[in-house]
Amino acid sequence: MAWLFGGKKKKAKKEAPKVDVNATKKKMDDQVKFVEMNINKYEKQIDDIKTKAKQALQKKDKKKAIMFMKKKKMYEAEISKLDGMRLMMEQQKLNMESQMNNKNVFDVMAEGNRAVEELAKEADIDKFEDIREKHEEIEERNEEINDFFANYAEDQVADCEDDLAELEAELAEEELGDDIIDKPLPAAKVSTRAEELAKEEEDLLAELN
């Protein structure tokens, strides 16, 4: 009921500004390089300090040598801290790159799913049914055309069967006539005068016996 009496309205929470991942990654890369540069610088300074501490000991100036060694420990502590920072930033960079890879893979897979859905819409089962029906209609039409021409050819053959039977009969008659003409007649026996005389002699001799 507070709104009836002019109560305070709750302020809407402001959304956090969107992080530019690539810009953040670049900043981290630059910071890691800066830390490495400082580490290298302090390591060189430590080497110089050790050299000076040795020189102080050679001169029997123990107090000065101790001061140099304390300074050396200060730089070593700073290097240890910078090493920890570098390690944490490298780990954070790795985590960021891993998440970026995860996001990229997710985006690609999500896009792939959308592509599959779009393709599935194009390959609707109803459309397959339409294609199959059209295919069957074309096959039936082609079959009708083939039957039409095949029946036409059979009809033409049937029309010529009577003529063909007549032609075969004529050929049979012609072949029979050729056989009669080509068949040789039996040779007539022709007797010669010499054979007749010999036959008469044989008959006479038979009578004598």
pLDDT digits (tens, 9 = 90+) for 63-95: 888 898 999 999 999 999 999 999 999 999 899
DSSP secondary structure letter of residue 84 = H
Angle of helix 62-122 versus helix 21-58 axis, rounded to 10: 160
DSSP secondary structure letter of residue 188 = P
Structure tokens at 111: 């896009």
Q: How many CB atoms lie within 10 A of CB 42?
A: 19
pLDDT on residue 117 = 83
Report how far residue 22's alpha carbon sits from residue 97's, in angstroms, rounded to the nearest whole number: 10
Q: How many CB atoms lie within 10 A of CB 16?
A: 6
Q: How many CB atoms lie within 10 A of CB 46?
A: 18
Determine the 3-state secondary structure of 14 from DSSP. coil
Is residue 49 exposed (0-12), middle (13-18) or buried (19+ Cβ within 10 Å)? buried
When pLDDT is averaged across residues 47-53 and rounded to a whole number, the result is: 91
Render pLDDT for 95-121 as a digit per residue (tens, 0 to 9). 988 988 998 989 999 898 888 888 877
Share of the chain above pLDDT 90, in %: 26
Confidence of residue 18 (pLDDT cuts 50, 70, 90): confident
Is residue 73 exposed (0-12), middle (13-18) or buried (19+ Cβ within 10 Å)? exposed
> Which secondary-structure segment (H or E) carries 55?
helix 21-58
Position 86, amino acid: R
CA-to-CA dists, residue 115 to 101, 105, 128, 148, angstroms: 21, 15, 19, 48
Share of the chain above pLDDT 70, in %: 70
Q: Sign of dihedral through CA atoms 43, 44, 45, 48?
A: positive
When pLDDT is averaged across residues 7-33 and rounded to a whole number, the result is: 77
Residues contacting residue 117 through CB under 8 Å, at least 6 positions apart? none
For the cut 50, the answer to whether the pLDDT of residue 169 exceeds it is: yes
pLDDT on residue 161 = 66
